[in-house]
Chain A
Amino acid sequence: MSSNTDTIREFAQQEYKWGFVTDINEDRAPKGLNEEIIRFISAKKNEPDFMLEWRLKAFRHWATLQQSDAEPKWANIKYGPIDYQNISYYSAPKQKPNLKSLDELDPEIRRTYEKLGIPLEEQKMLAGVAVDAVFDSVSVATTFKAKLAEAGVIFCSFTEAVQKHPDLVKKYLGSVVPYTDNFFATLNSAVFSDGSFVYVPKGVRCPMELSTYFRINAAETGQFERTLIVADEGAYVSYLEGCTAPIRDENQLHAAVVELVALDDAQIKYSTVQNWYPGDKNGKGGIYNFVTKRGKCLGRNSKISWTQVETGSAITWKYPSCILQGDNSIGEFYSVALTNNYQQADTGTKMIHLGKNTRSTIVSKGISAGHGQNTYRGQVKILKEAAEARNYTQCDSLLIGDKCGAHTFPYIEVRNSSARMEHEASTSKIGEDQLFYLRQRGLKTEDAVSMIVNGFCKRVFRELPMEFAVEAQKLLSVSLEGSVG
C-alpha cells in the first residue's frame, strides 16, 4: 500500500483553489457588537422602523443568551471560544449606489466572480440561471430581474425587499425561524446584513433556477446573511446556493438563517453546494458554519426539499429542517457531507410532522477522511394530530483511512400510533479490494476513490439540478484529494 499512500498524500496536499483575496475598498463597521452597531447596520440600509425594532429585540435576547452561556454545546464538534466582540458585523464594498447595469459593477468584484465561474453576465441567460451575488454583506448585482418580473417573481436582495416589499417581509420574516430560535439564529436576526428574498406568486412556476452565490472576502468579518423564500399557492421554485471564501489563518464565523414558506400545493426545492474554506491540512483557519435552515410546509399538499453537498468549512453545524404543518405535505432532505483533514461536521435534519398524511424522506451520506469527524444528527417527530405520517430515513457513512470518525445520532419521537417509520443505516470503508479492482482496470488511485465516493453519493446527486450535480462531483474529487492511506 505504500505507493498508494504516497499518491493519496500528494492528492491530499492539493490546495484550496478558491482562496484568493480581492483587493477592494470596503465600508465596514468597527469591531464589536452593541446596540450602536445594530443601529449602524440598520441605518446603513435605511431600514423602516419595524426592521430596526426586530433587530434590537433579537440583540437584547442574544445578550441574555450570551450572559447565560447559552451558546449551544451539545453538538459533536470542538472549537475554542468565539470572541463576538472581535468581529466586524458589517462590511460592504464601497461603490456607487443603485447600479443601473452590470457594467457599473466594480471590475475587481466582477473578476472575483469570474474566477469563481459565476454566470453574472446577462448573455449567460441561456444557462437559465439567475444569480443574486452576495459579496460580504451586501448584494452586488441581481441578474435576470426583468425576466423574472414578467412572471411576477420577486427575486432581490433582502435589503431591497425590506424597502420595496415591506409587507411581505413583515409577514414572513421570523415566521419559520423566530429571532428567539437559537443562539446563532438570534445573533443573525440582530446583525444580518443582507441576503436574498424570493416571492413566487400564486400558480407561478418560476421560469428559471434561482441562485445565490455567497462569498466572504474581508478579513475578520462574519457573514450573516438571511434568506427568505415564499412560494404562494400552487407555486414552484428551485433555488441554489453556493459558497466559497478566501484562505485566512484565523477562523471566520458564518451564521446564516434561511426560512422557506410553502403555501397550499406549493413546492420549494433548495439546493446547496457549500465549499467554504475548510482550513489547511493541519486544521488551521477555516469557516465556522453555524447555520439555521428551516422550511415550513404551511399549506396542504405542499413540498419542501433540501439537498445539500457540504464539502467545506472547518466546522459545520447545520440542520435544514421541515415543519410539515399542512395535511399531505412532504419534506425531503438529501445530504452529502464530507470531512477531510481536521474538518468537523455535525449535520442532519429535523422533520416535524404536524399534519395528517405527511411524509418525510431523509437520505444522508457522510464521508470522513483524514482526521475528519462526521456526525449525522436527525430528529423525526410525529405529533399526536399527525395521523398516517410516514418517514423513511437512510443514513450511510463511508470511511476513508483509519484516523477519521463517523457518528450517528437519530432521535425519533412518535406520538401517533398510525405512524410508519423506517430507518436504515450503514457504515462502510473504501476497501483496498475496491481500489485494486478499479486500478487494475487502468484508473488512477484518485480517480478510483472519486468513482467509489460518487457511487456512494449517487442517491443524493440525483436530486441536484444537472449542472450542479456535475459541479458537486468535481468538488468532491478535489476535496478528497490525498485522502486515502
Chain B
Amino acid sequence: MSLLEIKDLKVRVDDREILKGINLTVNEGEVHSIMGPNGSGKSTLAQVLARRETYEVTGGEVLFRGNNLLEMKAEEAACEGLFLAFQYPVEIPGISNAYFLRSALNAIRKHLGEDEMDAMDFLPLMREKLKLLDMNENLMNRSVNESFSGGEKKRNEILQMAVLQPKLAILDETDSGLDIDALRIVAQGVNAMRSPQRAILVVTHYQRLLNYIVPDYVHVLVNGRIVRSGGPELALELEEKGYGAPGAGADSASAAPA
C-alpha cells in the first residue's frame, strides 16, 4: 500500500479549475518534489491535501494510508500523520509557541491513544529539536509566529514537524524568504527527518532548495497538470532552461501567471 495515492484529482476555486487531473503516488521513505511556475496549482495541491475547505474538489480520489483523505477534516488528517509546513505561517497572539506546540502534540497523541505529555516531559523534547534547527529557546515563550522574522517563521514550521513526527510532510515553498544560511539549517532539519517510514513532498518554485534536500523524484506541474516526472536531474534541467522550455510540458507556463 502506498502512503499517498492521488488519482485524477480535480479542484476548482471560484469557478476556475486549478487542478485538472493530478496523478501521483508517494511511498514511505520517498522524497518527492513538485516544481512549477507561479500559478500552476502547486500550493492548491498542498492545501487540498491538508484538507483546507475553501477548495472545491470536483473529481478524483486521494488515499492516505489507504483511507479516503477527501473525507477527512483537517484535524483528522493531521492526527493521521499529515503535516503541512505553511508558506505563510499564521500568527496566534497571546498563545505561547511552546504551549501551542505541546497542545498540537497532545491532540495527536490523544488520537493515537497515547498519554498526553506534560510540560516537564515536553521540555527536553522541545530543546532537542530546537538545537537541531539552531533556534533560540526564547522563541518558545513568544506568541506563535508573532513578530517572528521570515526565517524564524519557516524554521518554526520545521520545528513543529520535527516534534510532531508526521508520516507525510508537505513543505509548501519553505525556501521562500530564506537567506542561504537559514536555507541550509532548514534543509538540515528536513534531512534529519528523512526515514524509511516517512515521506516528504517538497513544493517549490526554485531548484536551489533541492541542492540541499535532494529528492528521489521530481514532478513538473504546469497549468494544473503534472507534465513531466523524473529524477533529481530534472530539477537542474528546469533551473537551466525554465518551465517554458521545450520538453518541459505541452502547456505554456506563461498561460497561468501568478
Contact = CB atoms under 8 A, between A and B. Distances in A.
Interface string B66-90: 0000000111011100011010011
B95 A3 contact: no
A450 to B, nearest CB: 10
Contacts of A434: 90-92
A3 B73 contact: yes
A220 interface: no
A438 B97 CA distance: 12
B93 A441 contact: no
Contacts of B50: 436, 440
Contact of A438 (B53, B92, B93, B108): B92
A454 B94 contact: yes
A466 interface: no
Contacts, number: 80
A123 to B, nearest CB: 28
B124 to A, nearest CB: 21
Interface stretch (B28-36, B99-107, B114-122, B205-213): B99-107
B107 A442 contact: yes
Interface residues of B, number: 30
Query: In this complex, which of A1, A433, A436, A454 has the most chain B Cβ atoms within 10 angstroms of its Cβ?
Result: A436
Contacts of B51: 440
Nearest to B103: A443
Interface string A427-469: 0000111101111111111010001101111110000000000
A447 B52 CA distance: 17
B74 A455 contact: no
A458 B104 contact: no
Nearest to A459: B94
A156 to B, nearest CB: 39
Given A3-B73, A437-B89, A442 B94 contact: no
| Interface residue SS majority, chain B | mixed
Contact of A437 (B86, B103, B107): B86
A296 B75 CA distance: 50
B169 to A, nearest CB: 12
Contacts of B226: none
A4 interface: yes
B103 A456 contact: no
A438 B89 CA distance: 11
Interface in A1-52: 1-4
Interface size on A, as a range, is 20 to 34
B92 A442 contact: no
Given A1-B54, A4-B53, A455-B95, A441 B78 contact: yes
Given A2-B53, A3-B53, A440 B94 contact: no
Contact of A456 (B75, B86, B89, B93): B93
Contacts of B52: 436, 440
B53 A1 contact: yes
A423 to B, nearest CB: 19
Interface in B109-149: 111, 143
Given A1-B53, A440-B84, A445 B93 contact: no
B164 interface: yes
Contact of A440 (B54, B78, B91, B95): B78
A459 B95 CA distance: 11
A439 B95 contact: no
Contacts of A456: 93-94
Given A434-B90, A437-B86, A451 B100 contact: yes
Given A3-B53, A440-B78, A455 B160 contact: no
Contacts of A4: 53
Contacts of B83: 440
Nearest to B75: A439
Contacts of A457: 94
A439 B92 contact: no
A447 B50 CA distance: 18
Contact of A447 (B74, B77, B107): B107
A115 to B, nearest CB: 28
A455 B54 contact: no
Nearest to B80: A442
B159 to A, nearest CB: 12
B92 A437 contact: yes
Contact of B75 (A1, A2, A444, A458): A444
Interface of B: 50-54, 73-75, 77-79, 83-84, 86, 89-95, 100, 103-104, 107-108, 111, 143, 160, 164
Interface of A: 1-4, 431-434, 436-445, 447, 451-452, 454-459
30 contacts: A3-B53, A431-B90, A432-B54, A436-B53, A436-B90, A438-B100, A438-B104, A439-B73, A439-B78, A440-B50, A440-B51, A440-B74, A440-B77, A440-B83, A440-B84, A441-B107, A442-B111, A443-B75, A443-B103, A444-B75, A445-B75, A447-B103, A451-B103, A454-B94, A455-B92, A455-B143, A457-B94, A458-B94, A458-B95, A459-B94
Given A436-B52, A437-B90, 17 more contacts: A3-B73, A431-B90, A432-B54, A434-B90, A436-B74, A441-B104, A441-B164, A442-B75, A442-B104, A442-B164, A445-B75, A447-B103, A447-B107, A451-B103, A452-B92, A454-B95, A455-B92
